[in-house]
Amino acid sequence: MAVKIEKSLLRVLGGEVLAMPPVWLMRQAGRYLPEYRATRATAGGFLELCYSPDHAVEVTLQPIRRFGFDAAILFADILLLPQALGAKLWFETGEGPRLVPIVTRDDLERLNPVEAIHDTLAPIYETVRRLTAELPKETALIGFAGAPWTVATYMIAGRGTPDQGPARRMMYDDRALFADLIDLLTLATIEYLARQIEAGAEVVKLFDSWAGALSGSTFEEFALKPAQKIARALKSRFPHVKVIGFPRGVGGGYEQFARTGDFDALALDSSVPARWARDVLQPDVAVQGNLDPMLLVTGGAQLRHEVERLQEILGNGRWIFNLGHGITPEADPRHVEELLNIIKG
């Protein structure tokens, strides 16, 4: 007789409907926690924190110790992969990441081959291995990567932009160059996530934070198809692995993701109507989300109202409670405790 999966996140991803949904929060390890701020000060810069297994394990475990979430997500950054490919990466204090832009064919050809990424990323895999040993037995471990389109927007512009204009311009001006960059990132993401799974990740999540900047055929070609290719390759190698997609901001495009059958869950951004998700998405896939992160800043009666509303609408199907985007630095840990008390009684 097969052993029943006890981790609630894996049960929902495996098709079960639970009376009490599993709970974890995007960016649950982060600046809203005083213990995170103390660890980061010890580690030095942000990249030093990501590449130090001692520190990365510690900050991944902090919200589990404090709140008892049903899943931990690896502490890392989506731009570690382009750095492993040879893109120069640094962080400007108060402004965010910077990369030397990829703008020509020569820039692309100077990047490292996919097989070379693992030396740089070895500390990330070590963090996953340690977490596998140190997490409570009931807590699932999630690995992750940025989706090719979102990572490409940073690589082409050299930074985050309001409308992903530089990447969209290359997509139209030099389709071959842009497509080759997406293909490289797709293959590299498969290998990166495969190593995370081999190190112990039970679930992987693909963050396409800027998918909403694409539309029509470009959405299908550069958001949907690369995500499908990644999910299918991983499931072919690791039939047990569960994949969560997060095509943020795509509106009705979520339905296209749901109907592929390639994803075990879709994370919903805060703009997705819960009733639409129940009626259109939940019959095909588990859904994750999608509380407004601002409610963990404000707390109070409106937080309770919105959590209970989501419970009423989504609670009779396959559902993972989460936010519609990452928890903000201004969030109050007391409101996270309040949230958990509402969900778990």
Distance in angstroms (rounded) separating the CA atoms of residues 343 and 51: 34
Rounded CA-CA distance 155/166 in Å is: 10
Q: In the annotation, is 31 catalytic?
A: yes
Catalytic residue flag (residue 27) = yes
Structure tokens at 261: 């059958």
Whole-number Cα distances in Å, 202 to 4, 9, 242, 244 = 15, 10, 7, 11
Q: Is the dihedral of CA 294, 298, 302, 307 positive or negative?
A: positive
Which token pair is 118? 């693992």
Q: Which of 31, 98, 232, 278 is catalytic?
A: 31
From the list 11, 32, 36, 77, the catalytic residue is 77
Q: Is 159 a catalytic residue?
A: no
One-letter amino acid of 216: G
Per DSSP, 211 falls in state G
Residues in the chain: 345
Do 57 and 48 meet the contact criterion of CB atoms below 8 Å apart?
A: no
Judge whether 168 counts as a catalytic residue: no
Contact 208, 268 (CB under 8 A): no
Candidate list 32, 36, 51, 154, residue with the active-site label: 154
Question: Collapsing DSSP states into helix, strand and coil, what is residue 69?
Answer: coil
- Out of 27, 130, 248, 318, pick the active-site residue: 27
For residue 284, the Cα-to-chain-centroid distance in whole angstroms is 20
Has 309 been annotated as catalytic? Answer: no
d(CA 85, CA 178): 16
The helix-helix angle for 148-157 and 165-173 (nearest 10°) equals: 100
Q: Do the beta carbons of residue 287 and residue 265 sit within 8 Å?
A: yes
- Reading the block at residue 33, the tokens are 């926690």
Pairing label, strands 265-267, 319-320: unpaired
Q: How many CA atoms lie within 13 A of 332 on its CB side?
A: 11
Give me the active site residues, please: 27, 31, 40, 77, 154
